[in-house]
Amino acid sequence: MEDFRALDALLQKFVDDGLPGCGCMIARKGEVLYENYFGYSDIENRRPLTADNVFRQASLTKVAEYTLAMKLYEQGLFLMTDPLYEYFPEWRNSTKRITLPDGTEEIVPVEKPITVKNIFNMTCGLPYEAHPGFPSQSRTAQDMRTALDKIGKHYTLREQIKAMAEVPLDFEPGTRWLYGFASELTAGLIEQVTGMRAELALKKLLFEPLGMDSSANYICGDLEERLVKNYFITPGKKLGEPGALYVKHVTEGPGMTGTLDEVPGFQRVITNCRDYTRLMQMLANGGMLDGERFMGRKTIDLMRSNTLTQKMIDEDFTNDYLAGYGYGFGVRTLMDKGKGNHNGSLGAFGWTGGSGTWAEADPSEGVSIVYMHNIQPNLEEYHHLRMRAVAYGCQ
């Protein structure tokens, strides 16, 4: 029998050391092995964190987004080899930035067009646009910011994609890995093949069929009152120090409130541990959930297959946090347990969210782990790697 006392002790220590609150859920082959919540959703009003609270997922949205995209792929709605310009004609004449031997830069046409696979495995050559939180972003990121500013504060995802088509890529598509705008392009592809706004496609084609009733890409129903407060680390303070955290009102920033017509671009998921466990359990168990098939096991195997060359991994996909992983279709995938100091299983896959969420599915054992907190910066390496080691060790 599993013993999760060590995980309870670790998560309680996170809160004792200054984390506002966190939750974790572990399941195996449809059975919940562990679920617990620590700390507060609202420190000032002393509201305990519960299973009903929802969290901002930020980039953990990608697991849901690319799961839906892979389901559409297995329906024959597109091929990985399709040029992106078949769906967005303005991308037919993409250019790239190169550095000449004398150190000067030149903008030249790409040798091959961006393909669907390039936006699924983050090799299209575009980062996220620069913004005040990332002042040292690349020249390409600055160009993307400029292009975005030209279309104003309110724009559709389609308008955003059209504007970005004019920005030179960082490199020839398919030759390097670069995290960023590929996810917006994938959301745009979902819109093109479903005829629905991407956020609504996720709700109708993924969340509702999987019974994820507390999940959406926007505030609706009672999600606002259930949303945990987003705490920020005060400059000059460390987690756990008095006054280290302050509250930023949850309605600030795009996607927190309002209708879909009032927020720009593609909005990220808001959900809780129970809902995301349903998604991760479906992925961990070959596309099956509650005895019903949602998607094909072999499609999931493709989704979690490494698509990067060793050179790409060595140059662009390496740090202590990602050590041992490769990258598949919208998810990291474990390739080397020793390199990553990972006590889980080879082939386990998932991703992370910028506010502190983490999820992984292990198809070899039908296990899923979902962990959530919301702080900025998310301090992912400190919390996630410890949680991962303890969670796998308890099983």
Residue 262's pLDDT is what? 52
What residues contact 162, with CB distance under 8 A and at least 6 apart?
A: 88, 90
Q: How many whole angstroms separate alpha carbon 279 and alpha carbon 369?
A: 11
Summarised one tens digit per residue, pLDDT across range 222-247 is 988 999 998 888 888 888 788 888 76
Q: How many whole angstroms separate alpha carbon 122 and alpha carbon 127?
A: 9
Residue 135's pLDDT is what? 58
**Backbone phi and psi for residue 333, each to the nearest 5 degrees, phi listed first:** -140, 135
Reported as a pLDDT band with limits 50, 70 and 90, residue 294 is very high
- Out of 259-263, 280-284, 376-380, give the one with best mean pLDDT: 280-284
| Helix (H) or strand (E) run with residue 109 in it | strand 105-109
For CA atoms 183, 187, 188, 192, give the dihedral sign. Answer: positive
Q: How many whole angstroms separate alpha carbon 328 and alpha carbon 312?
A: 13
For 301-329, what is the mean pLDDT?
96
Residue 1 has pLDDT above 60, yes or no: no
Residue 266's pLDDT is what? 84
> DSSP H helical segments within the chain, as ranges?
5-16, 61-73, 116-120, 139-150, 157-164, 182-194, 198-202, 223-226, 273-284, 297-303, 310-316, 337-340, 380-393
Mean pLDDT for all residues in the chain: 92
> Higher pLDDT residue, 139 or 295?
295
Beta carbons of 280 and 300 less than 8 angstroms apart: no
Q: What is the dihedral of CA 320, 323, 327, 332, to 10 degrees?
A: -70
Residue 260 has pLDDT above 50, yes or no: no
Reported as a pLDDT band with limits 50, 70 and 90, residue 134 is low
Summarised one tens digit per residue, pLDDT across range 164-219 is 999 999 999 999 999 999 999 999 999 999 999 999 999 999 999 999 999 998 88
Q: How many whole angstroms separate alpha carbon 32 and alpha carbon 224?
A: 27
| Helix (H) or strand (E) run with residue 176 in it | none
Residue 388 has pLDDT above 50, yes or no: yes
**What residue ranges do the domains of the chain occupy?**
84-199
Residue 259's pLDDT is what? 44
Q: Are strands 230-233 and 375-376 parallel, antiparallel or unpaired?
A: parallel
Tokens of 328: 């598949």
- Reported pTM: 0.94
Question: 358-364: long-range contacts (C-beta < 8 A, 24 or more apart)?
Answer: 358/60, 358/384, 358/387, 358/388, 359/60, 359/63, 359/276, 359/280, 360/280, 360/388, 361/280, 361/281, 361/283, 361/284, 362/284, 363/283, 363/284, 363/285, 363/286, 363/300, 363/301, 363/304
Beta carbons of 34 and 371 less than 8 angstroms apart: no
Q: Which amino acid, 207?
A: F
Q: Is 221 left (phi over 0), alpha (psi -120 to 50) or beta?
A: left
Residue 255's pLDDT is what? 41
Reported as a pLDDT band with limits 50, 70 and 90, residue 93 is very high
Reported as a pLDDT band with limits 50, 70 and 90, residue 367 is very high
